[in-house]
Amino acid sequence: MTGLDGKRGLDDERERGGTQVLMAMRGLSTDRRRLLFVLGLAGAVGVFTATVPLLRDWFDLRVYYGTVDAWVHHGGRIYDYHVPGTAYGFTYPPFAALGMLPMALVGLRTAIAVELLLNLAAIAAIVWILVGPALRRYGWFGYALTGCLLALFEPVRDTFSFGQVNLLLLALVLSDAWLLSTGRGRRAGVGIGLAAAVKLTPALFIGLLLLARRWRAAGVATAVAVAATALAAWAAPDASRFYWTDAVWDTTRIGRLAYVSNQSLQGVLARLVAPDEPSRAAWATAALLILCAWAWRASRALADEDWTAAFALTGLAACLVSPITWVHHLVWLLPSFAVLLRRRRLRVAGALYVVLCSSVVWLWFDDASGLDGFLGSNTYTWITLGLLLWLPVGQPRVGRPFLSHRARATPPAPSPAAPVIAAASGQPASSLSGSAAEADRAAGPAAGTPRVSSSDPTGSTCPAALKPQSSSERASS
């Protein structure tokens, strides 16, 4: 018997070893297939990016670089510089120019390389904050696939191609969202304050902090924005005076409102009445309605401490009410996609992603008249508006029992005054009453115990223009 048992044990060990080897071979085969798939997808993305979209040749970065170079090395003024051959120059607040001063120490090619690295770091931080916990379970494959998908997303590829700063601003703002959602709210506000000092639209996130009654974070954000603006006023007083008294009110410095890349409410109204100027009263009314809808929906998200949804809604509202929202500004829609994925709205997220990769609005590059022009040329605006109104808010009901709704209809446990059922033979009566109490306690959560909240959060196909994004129509924004 001993020899037979030993033989059986040896056979079992060999079988287990063979199973482990087979599983390892399958894992290796799966990794190899995934690697080949990612390499093929990356190649297709590279070919598409290099051939189909109209690349922007870092036009906006050239504006930043030329402005800083003229200011530091040639005694020029920030808002007097124009890219040679165009009428376009710097349009951001003076603090943005102050933050870009290091470019004066390097050449243009080095500045482009640094810009690419900064945007890559920003997109990595954004992905980690929004979907990092979900991607970790897929390892390198999940991150590689996400990188390929983001490279196709028109606002992202436009941001890289223009040399824009919107991904950096989004990363700053989302850093505060991460602090708030992880219980580190006492440190929040710096990112939002810096973003608001570089560009005005992120200031709406200070309004979100006030709506959430996070007074400390709102105070920090306001103080940082004011201090940065004061620093710029000290370093460039003439430029600050000109910007805050003149340039900030002049939208023509940025570009033509009716240009198809302007996917804001102002852009919709401008294309409706082109070549006339849109009504400011109509735009102010529409913007007020959008802000009311934002406050209502953001309040619902905040009531559930759903910071990802609250920040996503604020980014959507900022894109809609801003006088000019170029296509590359729509990187602020990325938190909305994280919300859709978290709530398992995969079909909706997939459909919207495909549209936002298609450059469809450029089909109406020359003529946006008629019903098809009204609907098609404003496609990205309709997507932004739809997300603001219908984006799922509040925490998903992941942990709720499947029959929790039926549990509410279950009759309550017998009250202490009810007759006590006689115990079965050999069973104490006290054990039954204990069982009833246990059933009563078990019914409690199913009957409506509050849920536990979760902390989980261009190129275009248009005809080639002489200048990026038809530079006769827009400036660096």
Q: Give pLDDT, residue 50.
A: 76
Tell me the C-alpha distance between 174 and 123, whole Å: 11
Helix (H, G, I), strand (E, B) or coil at 474: strand
Q: How many CB atoms lie within 10 A of CB 427?
A: 11
> Any residues with CB less than 8 A from the CB of 63 and at least 6 apart, and which?
81, 83, 88, 89, 90, 475, 476
Amino acid at 460: S
Q: Give pLDDT, residue 13.
A: 55
More confident residue, 46 or 421: 46
Nearest one of 470, 472, 268, 463 to 359, comparing CA atoms: 463
* CA 84 from centroid of its chain's CA atoms: 34
Tell me the C-alpha distance between 76 and 447, whole Å: 70
Tell me the C-alpha distance between 54 and 50, whole Å: 9
Taking only the tens place, the pLDDT of each residue in 314-353 is 999 999 999 999 999 999 999 999 999 999 999 999 999 9
Mean pLDDT of 372-386: 96
Per-residue pLDDT for 95 more than 60?
yes
Token output for 99: 């933050």
Percent of the chain with pLDDT over 70: 76
Confidence of residue 27 (pLDDT cuts 50, 70, 90): low
More confident residue, 35 or 404: 35
* CA 255 from centroid of its chain's CA atoms: 25
Amino acid at 148: C
Per-residue pLDDT for 423 more than 50?
no
As a whole number, the mean pLDDT across the chain is 81
Nearest one of 63, 67, 99 to 80, comparing CA atoms: 67
More confident residue, 41 or 265: 265
Per-residue pLDDT for 472 more than 50?
no
**DSSP per residue, 138-187:** THHHHHHHHHHHHHHSHHHHHHHHHT-SHHHHHHHHHHHHHHHHTT-GGG
Taking only the tens place, the pLDDT of each residue in 131-177 is 998 888 888 888 999 999 999 999 999 999 999 999 999 999 999 99
Q: Are 467 and 59 in contact (CB under 8 A)?
A: yes
Q: Are 73 and 67 in contact (CB under 8 A)?
A: no
Q: Are 60 and 476 in contact (CB under 8 A)?
A: yes
Percent of the chain with pLDDT over 90: 60
Looking at the DSSP bridge assignments, the partners of residue 474 are 255
The position carrying tokens 């709720």 is 400
* CA 410 from centroid of its chain's CA atoms: 43
Taking only the tens place, the pLDDT of each residue in 38-89 is 888 888 888 887 776 666 789 999 999 999 999 999 989 999 999 888 888 9
Token output for 185: 């709210």
Taking only the tens place, the pLDDT of each residue in 9-26 is 545 555 565 555 445 445
Tell me the C-alpha distance between 341 and 126, whole Å: 15
**DSSP per residue, 192-244:** HHHHHHH-SGGGHHHHHHHHTT-HHHHHHHHHHHHHHHHHHHHH-HHHHHHHH
More confident residue, 454 or 175: 175
> Any residues with CB less than 8 A from the CB of 151 and at least 6 apart, and which?
45, 49, 157
Sort 462 into a burial class: Cβ within 10 Å, 0-12 / 13-18 / 19+.
Answer: buried
Confidence of residue 300 (pLDDT cuts 50, 70, 90): very high
Q: Give pLDDT, residue 285.
A: 96
Q: Give pLDDT, residue 471.
A: 41
Confidence of residue 468 (pLDDT cuts 50, 70, 90): very low
Q: Give pLDDT, residue 47.
A: 83
Taking only the tens place, the pLDDT of each residue in 178-225 is 999 998 888 999 999 999 999 999 999 999 999 999 999 999 999 999
Confidence of residue 6 (pLDDT cuts 50, 70, 90): low
